[in-house]
Structure 1
């Protein structure tokens, strides 16, 4: 074998072992393409723009911003409702098979919760539609005045996880959007006063306690509503992102008091203003107290910062730093 032939054979061997290091793979690639069953035998030439790893996926959006998610789609029969008139509002949730969904899990006492709010967050309704055998939901809906509203369907399909799908509704006519109410820790409704305790912290779960009183006296005999002593909906001002908020305990568990305080755990995705709507039941009537709350600075990271890449560790054993005797606590 002459010298050029020997060099060619040697280059081919290196390509199989190293996958084209230092350009040898390019030379071999011109001779034969690698078999499909061996995807790692040849590497592509470096690109100025790195590829996104296959496992990387965009972060999930808060609920209610989309009318379709995970194969399920909220489909109203109409999106125009006359203002001030009770209207038979009908809709379906279409499943991944393209058919109206009929199987739902029961959550908070209902298979589906329909939340309808005006886009300026001045009006709020928590409704519970009735489902027909064919999967069509219907409810009497009154949009009090002209404007744009957002409807949220909060549900979980059988065998699936909870979803919140949203769609806009329109009540025709002239209207002027109202400004978001100022941040406040006190709300009054029908002679009841509700005090908001706790802070919204972006990117972290935080406890919110809402304390109910009437005529200056604490209410200690709240009645269960949707499997709890209160139901809280949180919406981000601007895009109306819908946030799931969960109460502590449940009626009859032996530890959860029937007031005056109702504690929830909320996690907001970003800084900014949020509108909170608390439904509570007392003396047989469900009432809604509304607050505007602000989420401020995100919590500081508690992890020890990594050593800069260009700082080499000290080789002397005596230079090993003393370990700290305490660790930061996680907030739940």
Structure 2
């Protein structure tokens, strides 16, 4: 079901798993070595300061389609996961054959690490720890077998925001999940409703409203410098779009709920999976949506 190509630099192994499901990628090509490219350019945190992903929209190529971009390579020490078992996951960002050790802080973190199965099940937003040798480590556990995509979203010191992606494999019986269009998500007793439409090639204001037990939540807590954190993944190739709220805590005009607004710009028509992280009750909750951009749907 999968093919692993072992590389010598830092023990890198890249597993390309061809499996069924909503998000099996079509833009992941052959890996030619540390300087090779899987896909085309994409935008990371540093490309989306105003809540848009203009670079991705202009090129029709979101982030995360490549394991290498602009001379930087995402190099994990292993690409095999064991379902149900938590293990330290390690990787480096490599440039010119050497690990990068200096990163800028974007949204309160130097590295945002996203892991999701290729059918978009099991979404996780993690923040690894950087060692002096350039190795990032984070405890990682996946519940079920399948092919996963990992995204490293970072800004090198004095560099440009970048998102790189790599496939991971969790052996076992894989049964892909399906996600019909949905603008309402129920998570941990919260009900989150998404309003507005995604219009390809144009900035779209998207608003999420958070309620609990039928009452509006008006005391959301800041998370990563905002009242909400939204990641969008494009169907078919899991192109990665990172958008941010329209406003910030403490700016004198942004309320702490129940509504959190974003400005998003998707590059093409089709289905997108949206993951909204918000913090309330001293815990982070993740609401999931499936939205159609352009044409009929949702």
Question: TM-score, normalized by length of structure 2?
Answer: 0.78
Q: How does 1:65-76 map to 2 (within 5 A)?
A: 65-76=65-76
The answer for the alignment partner of 1:130 in structure 2 is 129
Moved more, 220-229 or 245-254: 245-254
Q: How many pairs are equivalent?
A: 239
Q: Give the SS at the match of 2:98.
A: coil
Q: Which digits, 9 at most, give the CA deviation of each residue in 1:44-100, with x for residues without a partner? A: xxxxxxxxxxxxxx94721000000000000000000111100110000002x3211
Task: Establish whether residue 86 from structure 1 lines up as the match of residue 113 from structure 2.
Answer: no
Q: Give the SS at the match of 1:247.
A: coil
Task: Establish whether residue 211 from structure 1 lines up as the match of residue 209 from structure 2.
Answer: yes
Per-residue deviation at 1:175? 1.1
Maintained 8 Å contact 2:60/2:267: no
Q: Which digits, 9 at most, give the CA deviation of each residue in 1:96-155, with x for residues without a partner? A: x32111111101110000000010012100000000011100000001111000000000
Q: 1:60 to 1:132 in 2, by over 3 A?
A: farther
The answer for the alignment partner of 1:160 in structure 2 is 159
Alpha-carbon distance in 1 for matches of 2:267, 2:238: 12
Q: Give the SS at the match of 2:250.
A: coil
Alpha-carbon distance in 2 for matches of 1:69, 1:273: 25
Maintained 8 Å contact 1:201/1:297: no
The answer for the alignment partner of 2:176 in structure 1 is 177
The answer for the alignment partner of 1:101 in structure 2 is 100
Instruction: Give the number of the structure whose residues are more often strand, by fraction.
Output: 2
Maintained 8 Å contact 2:61/2:267: no
Instruction: Give the number of the structure whose residues are more often helix, by fraction.
Output: 1
Alpha-carbon distance in 2 for matches of 1:186, 1:114: 25
Alpha-carbon distance in 2 for matches of 1:126, 1:61: 22
Per-residue deviation at 1:297? 4.4
Per-residue deviation at 1:161? 1.1
Alpha-carbon distance in 1 for matches of 2:211, 2:59: 40
Higher-Rg member (1/2): 1
Match of 1:283 among 281, 285, 288: 281
Maintained 8 Å contact 2:147/2:167: yes
The answer for the alignment partner of 1:194 in structure 2 is 192
The answer for the alignment partner of 1:264 in structure 2 is 262
Q: Which digits, 9 at most, give the CA deviation of each residue in 1:22-55, with x for residues without a partner? A: xxxxxxxxxxxxxxxxxxxxxxxxxxxxxxxxxx
Maintained 8 Å contact 2:106/2:154: yes
Q: Give the SS at the match of 2:116.
A: strand
Per-residue deviation at 1:218? 0.5
Alpha-carbon distance in 2 for matches of 1:277, 1:244: 10
RMSD across aligned C-alpha pairs, in angstroms? 1.3
Q: Give the SS at the match of 1:170.
A: strand
Q: Give the SS at the match of 1:244.
A: strand
Q: Which digits, 9 at most, give the CA deviation of each residue in 1:301-329, with x for residues without a partner? A: xxxxxxxxxxxxxxxxxxxxxxxxxxxxx
Q: Give the SS at the match of 2:226.
A: coil
Q: How does 1:1-332 map to 2 (within 5 A)?
A: 59=59, 61-95=61-95, 97-179=96-178, 181-297=179-295
> Which structure's relative contact order is higher, taking Cα pairs within 8 Å and 6+ residues apart?
2
Q: Which digits, 9 at most, give the CA deviation of each residue in 1:216-251, with x for residues without a partner? A: 110000000000001000001110000121211111
Q: Give the SS at the match of 2:99.
A: coil
Alpha-carbon distance in 1 for matches of 2:81, 2:196: 38
| Unaligned ranges ≥5, structure 1 | 1-57, 299-332
